[in-house]
Amino acid sequence: MTQTSSPRQKIQRRPVHGVLLLDKPIGLSSNQALQKAKWLMRAEKAGHTGTLDPLATGVLPLCFGAATKFSQMQLEADKTYEAVLLLGQKTTTADAEGEVIETRDVPEITAELLEKLTAQFSGPQAQIPPMYSALKKDGKALYEYARAGQVVEREPRHIVIHEMQMAVAHDERAPAAIRIIVRCSKGTYIRTLGEDIGEAIGCGAHLGFLRRIETGGYLASHCVSLSALETMSEADRDACLLPPQSLVSAAPSVSLDADNAGRFLSGLPRRGEAGQWGPQIAENQPLVQVFGNDPYAFLGTAHVTDNELIPERLLSPIEVQDMLKSAAIGSATAASAGPALHSDEPPSLDLMSHQTV
Euclidean distance between CA atoms 253 and 190, whole angstroms: 35
- Per-range mean pLDDT, top range of 50-59, 210-219, 348-357: 210-219
Band of residue 150 on the pLDDT scale cut at 50, 70, 90: confident
**Cα dist from 109 to 12, 82, 112, 148, 271, whole Å:** 57, 19, 8, 36, 62
**Average pLDDT, integer, range 143-158:** 85
The count of other CB atoms within 10 Å of the CB of residue 69 is 19
Euclidean distance between CA atoms 23 and 300, whole angstroms: 27
Whether 8 has a pLDDT exceeding 70, the answer reads no
Fold entry, domain 79-215: Pseudouridine synthase (3.30.2350)
- The per-residue pLDDT for 339 is 38
Residue 186 bridge partners (DSSP): none
- The per-residue pLDDT for 346 is 52
Conformational region of residue 187, where left means phi above 0, alpha means psi within -120 to 50, and beta covers everything else:
left
Euclidean distance between CA atoms 10 and 161, whole angstroms: 46
- The per-residue pLDDT for 357 is 38
**Cα dist from 324 to 243, 295, 332, whole Å:** 11, 8, 13
Burial 249-271 (b: 16+ CB within 10 A, else e): bbbebbbbeeebbeebbeeeebe
**C-beta of residue 263 within 8 angstroms of C-beta of residue 272:** no
- The per-residue pLDDT for 320 is 93
**Average pLDDT, integer, range 49-55:** 87
What CATH number labels 18-76+218-239?
3.30.2350.10
Whether 24 has a pLDDT exceeding 50, the answer reads yes
Whether 135 has a pLDDT exceeding 90, the answer reads no
- The per-residue pLDDT for 335 is 42
- The per-residue pLDDT for 152 is 85
For 351, residues 6+ apart whose C-beta sits below 8 A from its C-beta are 165, 167, 179, 181
**Average pLDDT, integer, range 298-310:** 95
Does a cis peptide bond (omega within 30 degrees of 0) precede residue 25? no
138 is an active site residue: no
Burial class (CB in 10 A: 0-12, 13-18, 19+), 350: exposed
Architecture of domain 250-327: Roll (2.30)
Band of residue 354 on the pLDDT scale cut at 50, 70, 90: very low
The domain locations on the chain are: 18-76+218-239, 79-215, 250-327
**Average pLDDT, integer, range 65-87:** 94
**Average pLDDT, integer, range 151-170:** 94
pTM of the entire predicted model: 0.87
- The per-residue pLDDT for 336 is 41
- What angle do helix axes 190-201 and 111-120 make, rounded to 10 degrees? 130
**C-beta of residue 357 within 8 angstroms of C-beta of residue 171:** yes
Of 53, 95, 171, 196, the catalytic one is: 53
Whether 235 has a pLDDT exceeding 60, the answer reads yes
Summarised one tens digit per residue, pLDDT across range 265-292 is 999 999 988 778 888 888 899 999 999 9
One fold for 18-76+218-239 and 250-327: no
- The per-residue pLDDT for 147 is 84
**How many H-runs (helices) and E-runs (strands) does the chain carry?**
10, 17
Closest to 315 (Cα-Cα) out of 75, 69, 18, 73: 69
